Structure 1
Amino acid sequence: MCAFKQLLETHSIHQTWIAKKMNFSPATINKIVKYGDYPKKNADAIKQQMIDLLVGEGLNETEILTAMDAVQLNSDRDQTLEIECTAAPTDEEQLMLLRKQTLTPAAKKQFMLFKNIFTDGIKSANELFQNSDINYVRESMWQAAKGNTSFIAVIGQSGSGKTTLREELHDRVSRDREPVVIIEPYVLATEDNDIKGKTLKSVHIAEAILAALAPSTKAMRSPEARFRQIHNLLKESSRAGHHHLLIIEEAHSLPIPTLKHLKRFLELKNGFTPLLSIILIGQDELKIKLAENNQEVREVVQRCEIVTLEPFTQSSLVDYLQHRCKSFDRKLSEFIDESGIDAICAKLTRNVGRNNQHESLLYPLAVGNLLTGALNVAAELGESVITGDLVKEV
């Protein structure tokens, strides 16, 4: 804890009280106390005003100045280290993701949140937020499950909700009692080459199909016999009225040969009836692998529809947060005001490059982490709701 903050706590003086007396926002006072960061205009006068205020509360002026100087010294040293260790930021610098945030006990108590409604996973289909963009991806996955489309790639940034939609697809198949057999090869420790991890090969996909359709059946030893075996099993299952859906998570880690082999799985048919649909789920690297100019996977590119999970807009962000609050019988206004929403959008969105290319991280996970951090700051300063100034402090 910094010397100045410790001095205030020793004398039971709250930063919110100082803010009200000096007519500044709590965030501004917090910057002064923690980092010695005074407003550029009239910094010396503000510093003297704070000293006079604290002296009036019985603090020793020498003690106050010593604590202020210690904060300033630490802040200057940190800035020097930062300049030495990092290059100066440029207009091309990427938006930074916030590290995982957890609610502090103070925040849980102040906002009556014993479950983090902004970051915890959903427990039922009713908690799933839906808008036009999400519904498009959701319906594309559903049509693949029913066999109306054959091959799609769902692409989105980390924390955009890809896994949630996969889980909801499982739940929907079960709820609607659709005759769909979902096949999911395990992708633990998979990488796109055998140096970094283990690659997922066609033979592993065949083993996953066999395990889903006939778990007690022993796999044939030779690759030719094994693939003939799974083709026959798919035919028998199709005649029984089932459709088969292959879902591969972390598909950006698939090696190029396996991507090419997926076309051959698509070609497994019983007469004119396709036996298998495929959904690949991955991050932006998958989109690069499936680029039109990548000649190695041209046969796949021509058959695979790319479906992208888009970031929130400001209006859809408000709808999303209101939905999350409503799912737990709370109101968004209990946690954040309009200026706080604006600040979240500003912090997680920017235009970069000469063409002002739009870059946004307004995805559920990033928004939830930022909100959690802001709730912690609000509780620390004794603020009842998150404001724009508090979001900037995270």
Structure 2
Amino acid sequence: MLTPTTMKHFKLFRNPFLDDVQEDRDVFLSQSHRYAHAAMIDAARNGGFVAVCGECGAGKSVMRRKLIADLNNEGDVRVILPQTIDKGQLTSNHILDAIIMDLDPDAPIRRTREAKARQVQRMLLDSSRAGMRHVLVIEEAHDLSVPTMKQLKRLWEIEDGYRKVLGIVLVGQQELAARLNRQTHPEMREVILRCLIATLDPLSRDDCEGYVKLKFSRVGKDAGEVLADGYVDALMARLTTRQGWSAVYPLYINNLLAKAMNMAAQIGAPQVTPDIIEEA
């Protein structure tokens, strides 16, 4: 978090790292982000099954928000978002409830599981024949139980002729990718064999520079006014361990730059130098 002193020191009127994604122009897409977004859109429009995986701070929630915004703009895909907070407790019954509520909030929900399953199938088929597509989006999907993930596959198999009527997008941390490993989880093979995994990779050097420039430009500031030459290499080095593990993700970059900018303001430095980034 940038302090008021830091904001004044660098003549900033808005924090470039706080509530920084408010519209589509605020979204930075690296190559892996573009691939993940394309895979999510394809799943939504063509009845696919995709899991978007990434470390904490990699931009998964932003990808989910962008997907929903893009689909809402197009208008022919209904997005289903289960609201159960603890995804570890999410069951197929909850998902059926979510489908009914999001397709028709006023529809009475059948009580028995068989009746409810038939109700969901009928609603999806009717909506599909009316020209709509549907996508089920589940965030924090790394917490889903194995039985629930298996039941997702059965929902995904609902068809109208040759056409799938429900796409599925799972969004989760790297534990989700580990769960979708056939070697370690053979009991999940019926899901794994049908699910495309899109991983959000750490940013490259060029992407890191592009990301930082975008953050500052969106608050009316040139990054070069705040950050001294060499800042990109300093960020890359500071966020990479000696073992080669990279944490060059948007959230980590934001936090490191905020800390470095606060340090620079404290000592009265006109710019954030590579040395300050190294010490932050």
- Name the residue aligned to 1:128: 27
Does structure 1 residue 172 correspond to structure 2 residue 70?
yes
How many residues matched? 279
Q: Counterpart of 1:285 in structure 2: which amino acid?
A: E
TM-score normalised by length of structure 2: 0.96
Cα offset, 1:179, TM superposition: 0.5
Cα distance, 1:390 vs. partner? 0.8
- Taking CA–CA contacts closer than 8 Å with sequence separation of 6 or more, which of the two structures ends up with the larger relative contact order? 2
In the alignment, which residue of structure 1 is the partner of 2:91?
201
Structure 2 Cα separation of the partners of residues 327 and 114 of structure 1: 11
User: Structure 1 190/134 Cα, relative in aligned 2: closer, same or farther at 3 Å?
Assistant: closer
User: Where does residue 197 of structure 2 map in the other structure?
Assistant: 306
Residues 328-337 or 207-216, more deviating: 328-337
* Secondary structure, aligned partner of 2:29: coil
2:38 to 139, 162, 169: 139
- Code of the residue aligned with 1:174 in structure 2: it is N
Cα deviation, residue 142, structure 1: 1.1
1:273 to partner: Cα distance: 1.6
What is the distance in 1 between the residues matched to 2:173 and 2:23? 25
Contact in 1 for aligned 2:14/2:219 (Cα 8 Å): no
Out of 373, 384, 391, which is 2:270 matched to? 384
Partner of 1:337: 228
1:349-391 CA distance string (max 9 Å, x none): 1242xxxxx3111111110000000000000000011111111
Query: Using the alignment, how far apart are the partners of 2:115 and 2:19 within structure 1?
Result: 46
- Give 1:216's match in structure 2, choosing from 96, 101, 106: 106
Q: Is the 8 A contact 1:343 1:388 kept in 2?
A: yes
Q: Are 2:20 and 2:215, in contact at CA under 8 Å, matched by a contact in 1?
A: no
> Does 2:169 correspond to 1:270?
no
1:188 equivalent to 2:78? Answer no
CA distance in 2, matches of 1:159, 1:121: 13
- Greater Rg by CA: 1
Q: How many Å separate the matches in 2 of 1:337 and 1:306? A: 38
RMSD: 1.3
1:1-394 matches, within 5 Å, as 102-147=1-46, 149-175=47-73, 177-191=74-88, 199-293=89-183, 294-352=185-243, 358-394=244-280
Distance in 1 between the 2:171 and 2:221 partners? 33
Q: Give the deviation of 1:119 after TM superposition.
A: 4.1
Name the SS for the 2:63 alignment partner. Answer: helix
Q: Would the aligned equivalents of 1:119 and 1:369 in 2 still touch at CA under 8 Å?
A: no
Identity among equivalent positions (%) equals 37
Partner SS state of residue 136, structure 2:
strand
CA distance in structure 2 between the partners assigned to 1:223 and 1:298 by the alignment? 25
TM-superposed CA distance for 1:258, in Å, is: 0.4
Task: Note the alpha carbon deviations across 1:169-210, whole angstroms, 9 max, x for none.
Answer: 1211222x231000010131333xxxxxxx110000000000
**SS in structure 2 opposite 1:338?**
coil
- Give the TM-score, by structure 1 length: 0.69
Tell me how far 1:247 sits from its aligned partner: 0.2
In the alignment, is the contact (CA less than 8 A) between 2:15 and 2:219 conserved in 1? no
Q: Which amino acid aligns with 2:138?
A: I
Conservation of the 8 A alpha-carbon contact between 1:377 and 1:393: no
The 3-state SS of whatever aligns with 2:83 is coil
Kept in 2, the 8 Å contact 1:156–1:310? The answer is yes
Shift of 1:104: 1.3
Name the SS of the counterpart of 1:160 in structure 2. Answer: coil
8 A Cα contact 1:151 1:278, kept in partner: yes
Q: Do the aligned partners of 2:82 and 2:98 also contact (CA within 8 Å) in 1?
A: yes
Q: Which amino acid aligns with 2:117?
A: F
Cα distance in 1, alignment partners of residues 190 and 242 from structure 2: 35
Q: Any idea what SS the aligned residue of 2:230 has?
A: helix
